[in-house]
Amino acid sequence: MRRITRPIRLICVGVLAGGLLAGCGLSGGGKAEGGAVAGMDMQGAAERGDEMFYATVGAIKPDVEWVHRATTTGSCDVSRYWTVMTVVSEQRRGNFLGVVERFWKTSGYRIKTVNPSKELPTIIATSPEGFGIRVSFGYKGQGFFEVTSPCVDKSKVAPPTKVANGRTYEGEIPTPNVHSDFWSAGSPVPGPTPTPSP
């Protein structure tokens, strides 16, 4: 039964997260005027999304292991997805999200939503050029990142060129399986955690 239940739970989490993103509007939804998006095509947008993720995950210390999950395209937008393979304990998730939130704020991103839910904590932000970026925790405490572009010129989109910083997986990506003395610890780190949205 477990083999059947786990994929269903993963699908439910994915559907719920997708619904949250659609409701909150992860990206601006329209073509931005001027800035980095003017004249940008979907490949350029995907590369910009990669840069946003790499900068974000680079601000997380100690490092966490991550893998590329997927790339999806719409009629004029592109989304990249990544999965965190490091076990981030329930006690340390607030600290993890706090690091990400502070980095996004110092990078000029506007924080749109902070959901401190114990089951599905999420932060959604928007970059100055209209890209949406999200970090969340889902089933079994798995961390996820997503970057979605605003509407840009249609083009083909190549896979990311940077390899994951941990092991690679054939087929389905498993639940977190990389231990960290810091992130997997069973006690919280003293310090600020994300502030719920008003």
Q: Give the mean pLDDT of 23-51.
A: 71
Give yes or no for residue 46 having a pLDDT over 70.
yes
Examine the pLDDT at 118 and tell me if it is beyond 70. yes
Lowest average pLDDT, out of 103-107, 149-153, 162-166, 181-185, goes to 162-166
Q: What is the pLDDT of residues 47-58, one digit of tens each?
A: 999 999 999 999
Question: What CATH number is given to the structural domain containing 20?
Answer: 3.30.2030
Residue ranges making up the domain that contains 141: 2-148
Average pLDDT, the chain: 84
Residue 21 lies in a domain: yes
* Count of structural domains within the chain: 1
Residue 169 placed within a domain = no
67-87 per-position pLDDT tens digit:
999 999 999 999 999 999 999
**pLDDT above 50 for 123:** yes
Task: State the Cα–Cα distance between residues 140 and 74, nearest whole angstrom.
Answer: 29
Single pTM value for the model: 0.80
Cβ(144)–Cβ(81) under 8 Å? yes
**Phi, psi angle pair for 57, to nearest 5°:** -70, -25
Residue 27 binned pLDDT confidence (cut-offs 50, 70, 90): low
Residue 187 lies in a domain: no
Whether the pLDDT of residue 38 is over 90: the answer is: no
Is residue 138 helix, strand or coil? coil
